[in-house]
Structure 1
Amino acid sequence: MPQHQGDLDIQFQVHKRLEHPIFNIVKRSMDLCGSIIAMVIISPILIALCVLIKLEDWHAPIIYKQIRIGKDGRPFEMYKLRSMIRNAEEKQQELLHRNEIQGAMFKMKNDPRVTSVGRFIRKTSMDELPQLVNVLKGEMSLVGPRPPLPREVHEYTSYDMQRLTVIPGCTGLWQVSGRNRLGFKEMVELDLRYIEKRSILLDIFILLRTFRVLIGSKDAY
């Protein structure tokens, strides 16, 4: 696969599993129907959250856009409700030594960059709601591996790269199996297990489990 330009230069060479066309059609149909229904249902909540985010910092954007790496190493712009201060990306360099997860990820339980509203929407994973637009655009699926940052992918081994053989998801086996309690290696193993075993029934199981996890929300931060 040709390299991406600039900061997105990523070598992507992995053995790709053949996908059954019927599975892809059904999964895409489920993504479209599920995301449209979800957006209609959550629209009042989304509007209220947008108002709260804007009131907290009138000059900052409501939607946070971030480049992530999707299927086959292709970059795309992922959407989230803004949960951090405006210069969060710059300040992250100062916090790298406080990373609480080993491997190619950055997570802090008490991240000082998170706003007051941000703590709530991150705890409940409501900051992820705009990713339904990414699902409609075909850049993400409702279920799949978490889409990584370009800097994370630059640290991937060829084994880790197998995560990028499928469309990334809003939720996945990692999220419903412990989320931030698990390290990077555990996340990779869970994602590869999903890729190997994926089916419509497994997707439905993960979606149902996601709602259960969100109610408890013990591992989100």
Structure 2
Amino acid sequence: MKDEKYTYEDFRRIIAKLRAPEGCPWDREQTHASLKSCMIEEAYEVVDGIRILDETGKPDNLCEELGDVMMQVFLHSQIAEEEGLFSLDDVVDGISRKMIYRHPHVFGTAEADTAQKVLQNWEELKKKEKGDLTPEEEIAAIPHSLPSLIRTSKVLKKLDRYYGVFQNEKDSFQEASDSLEQMLAEEKPEKIREKAGEVLLQVCNILRLLEINGEEALTEALEKLLKMYEIPE
């Protein structure tokens, strides 16, 4: 351990040593696939760190969790470099080029004086990068690994845009109400499960149309429940 602060390059060497033949047995065994759940968990812990910062003003947890996410990036990049796929330098180069390309109002001559215009430009440039995709291809490209509420909202947004469906929250309220009544009347477990899915789908659409983040709304409701029973966070 050294007295002065460690640097980006120091950390890069630390990860490389952990993966070296004389390094850590656990780190040496890891693959991109074995680390998938770690990346997801660390990302969620960053979100919790943001919550702690918002509620207490204390930044230590967020700082620590961001470090854990950074470790995942460095570790995946080290594994990829060992496999001859890409290096950490390639990752940094790629994201740097993407940020410059997608911010022509900062690094070029384009104009965007509102956040909405920035997002519009971003989507247009993204389409140019990806090429012309059909609506079906765009929907299929939405990652299956996303949490269900987030993935459902993204799919519904695309269906709304391209097919003009799921556009009215009142219709979704009615659909959810009808499916809930049918679910309560069902006796077969598989039918109850089916109707429960339909209820959740319509609720997701209602939240989307009202511009409410379903993940955050559910988390806030759960935290209120825990406080009711004086369960520490």
TM-score above 0.5: no
Write 1 or 2 for the structure with the bigger share of helix: 2
Q: Per the shorter chain, which TM-score range?
A: under 0.3
Which of the pair has the greater relative contact order for Cα pairs under 8 Å at 6+ separation? 1
Greater Rg over alpha carbons, structure: 2
- Identify, as 1 or 2, the structure richer in strand: 1
TM-score, normalized by length of structure 1?
Answer: 0.28
TM (norm. structure 2) is 0.27
